[in-house]
Structure 1
């Protein structure tokens, strides 16, 4: 008798599973995808979409159609509680879903506390927020120059600042862009990468503020740690990401960040029927940076291990690479390439990133996404 596999979240780490669902269904298993949207937007191309380098349909996967075309069930809903002892998921709609094997790829959210119903503070996760923010900017900049604020000096915040400059250039409009970088711009990256990013932003007129962070933010004003107040028209919040509190709230073993604690098989040790990948997990063997490359590399491992868990076969370990490739999209066709000691900037760096990203999209855009209208869903 077949079993029930539930995928919670249609993110990067589940793409291979969703594309090859026929392998599971052929064995008599049922598969359900639970996702809050019919689409998943690829984070690696989000900043580029902000600057209009890419269209919305260039960076999204129609995950609902992807799984339905392969015989699986799609539920547009959200898991609010995991009852692991009963192998049951409680959904926001009130529905309860039973599983034999479940895998989580629910991503992460911004750690900064943002006022509810704010229309001027834009969290960079989920990625669709960047496109909605771009739409607001395009509407408002037609009336007056804008003051744009970016909160967070990590790779995401740096890319957002560069691509906001690219958007303004694309629109042939002027505005002020300020990046509040925290203790240091790109502090976890090699000094050469930091220097190149800082120099490029300075050349473009982007003000980078180091040594300060945002203590509090409200619509139109940010309070910095030294008491300075900065007013803005729009603020993009990229102050570090944290997994959903659902794992901790459900009493599952978690890491210090609240992510689902998993072993080398991407499996929760205390609950062998629970798996996960991407930003929502805490890899107990070696804590991993919250970067998309790990989620992408977990794709084939999750595909194999979920299949093997359903079939009672041995599992395959995930071996994360130590020196992962990082390429920053700095906007307007410029990039910064870094892997180990090899670091360089310019158009070649962006060209390499663009080739890698488009290749990933071609592999999993299997539902005619590029021919869809630009509406944001």
Structure 2
């Protein structure tokens, strides 16, 4: 069965859900697909050009064994993708021929950054433009709940760039000049490119209202600020009973609320937590899963109200669609995820949600030299759940296709998996994991989630050094 999408707050955002798929075989296999006018039907290279099989890591290894499809007809050579490594013992000679520019330090670009040596081996200069360090969404709610310190959730992009020989520009993209092949930054800089990859991320649609007491589930730095704000409030001699309004009754909102309760229990402080849901909460989940999560909320003394749409958020309260006003001290926006707003302002095709439309090769349908991955894309004409697992799975394909484009070789398609494991963290003692209609709730699920998340973050830290958590 296909994976359920978590939407209105039920879409799988990274901080609400950690998505992995350990049980499926390699799914990105099948016929090499060409793009009209760009690539012909031909056998893909087993190694990067200019290297022997002994000295160079493979982009793609071709197994010349045909598969038999459901129709009984042979589908062509099966392809298995391998992670590109470095170029041991070789140094690129001569001037740099092409510049590959990565915009955004998300899940997909972390992989390319770590393996940038593979692109430099074939004459590419690799540049990344990022607003700051990478904050891992899979650990974000646990960090909010006090399971780990904020620094455990962060990967130092500067350190990773230096280690991979990549040039880092700290800045914010505000536009794209396709005529001159330049990325426009907020401070006026223009960064030229030959190939461009966009990993722009997503965020909840903004709530109507302003104030220093409104926080969002993305960017993850907002949750760091929320935890700091709460703990600062509790340092006083007479700490207040904080009233928290979580807007959004999907998986993310439930996970945020559960970890806020875990934080208050950790500090021995009182907190009133109310979730406001526009429609029936968790309506896209199997009934048994939704019921288990609702029971968990009741045991944690968390109130959930629906139908209750928040129409305006202020410093000390929220207004609902029935005209009533509810007092609160802090508002958390967990209303689901939409692509970064810049994606729709780049003179590239985008869908109704503002997501960049890409083909099966992760290239823009409006410019074959521009690639994109993660939450900011509409893949092959359809939206994928905005879960980190898709960006992680797209990353090796994106890296391989950047190398193939540089080399004038055929690209390979990304094939999304039908099912993935989602793990919802529910505080310090429990989590719920779900794959299709199979689910389990209890401490082992939390242990598995923490192991997966820590392993992922450590893989991008020099020396794979863990930061101790609580």
TM-score by length of 1: 0.94
State how far apart, in whole Å, the 2-side matches of 1:369 and 1:255 are.
41
Structure 1 partner of 2:338: 242
Are the counterparts in 2 of residues 9 and 33 from structure 1 also a CA contact under 8 Å?
Answer: yes
State how far apart, in whole Å, the 2-side matches of 1:200 and 1:247 are.
38
Structure 1 partner of 2:303: 207
Residue in structure 1 matching 2:220, options 104, 110, 127:
127
1:195 pairs with 2:291: yes
Higher helix share: 1
Consecutive unaligned residues in structure 1, runs of 5 or more: 373-377
1:5 pairs with 2:100: yes
Structure 2 partner of 1:109: 203
Consecutive unaligned residues in structure 2, runs of 5 or more: 1-95
- The alignment partner of 1:85 has SS state of coil
Q: Which has the larger radius of gyration?
A: 2
State how far apart, in whole Å, the 2-side matches of 1:245 and 1:319 are.
26
Structure 2 partner of 1:23: 118
Structure 2 partner of 1:375: none
Aligned length: 371
Show the 5 A alignment for 1:19-58: 19-37=114-132, 39-58=133-152
Shift of 1:285: 4.2
Are the counterparts in 1 of residues 242 and 270 from structure 2 also a CA contact under 8 Å?
Answer: yes
Show the 5 A alignment for 1:1-377: 2-37=97-132, 39-116=133-210, 118-142=211-235, 143-366=239-462, 370=466
- CA deviations on 1:31-59 (whole Å, 9 max, x unpaired) are 1110011x110001100000110122211
Shift of 1:201: 0.5
Q: Which runs of 4+ in 1 moved over 4 A?
A: 367-372
State how far apart, in whole Å, the 2-side matches of 1:114 and 1:63 are.
33
Structure 1 partner of 2:4: none
State how far apart, in whole Å, the 2-side matches of 1:99 and 1:71 are.
17
Q: C-alpha root-mean-square deviation of aligned residues, in Å?
A: 1.7
Of residues 50-59 and 89-98 in structure 1, the stretch that sits farther from structure 2 once superposed is: 50-59
State how far apart, in whole Å, the 1-side matches of 2:406 and 2:314 are.
48
- The alignment partner of 1:111 has SS state of coil
Q: 1:197 to 1:93 in 2, by over 3 A?
A: same
- The alignment partner of 2:367 has SS state of coil
State how far apart, in whole Å, the 1-side matches of 2:375 and 2:259 are.
23
Of residues 198-207 and 309-318 in structure 1, the stretch that sits farther from structure 2 once superposed is: 309-318
Q: 1:93 to 1:223 in 2, by over 3 A?
A: same
- The alignment partner of 1:364 has SS state of coil
State how far apart, in whole Å, the 2-side matches of 1:214 and 1:160 are.
17
- CA deviations on 1:320-359 (whole Å, 9 max, x unpaired) are 1122211100112210111012111111111121121112
Are the counterparts in 2 of residues 243 and 258 from structure 1 also a CA contact under 8 Å?
Answer: yes
- The alignment partner of 1:309 has SS state of helix
- The alignment partner of 2:111 has SS state of helix
- CA deviations on 1:62-97 (whole Å, 9 max, x unpaired) are 112201222111011011001223321110010111
Of residues 361-370 and 141-150 in structure 1, the stretch that sits farther from structure 2 once superposed is: 361-370
State how far apart, in whole Å, the 1-side matches of 2:465 and 2:450 are.
18
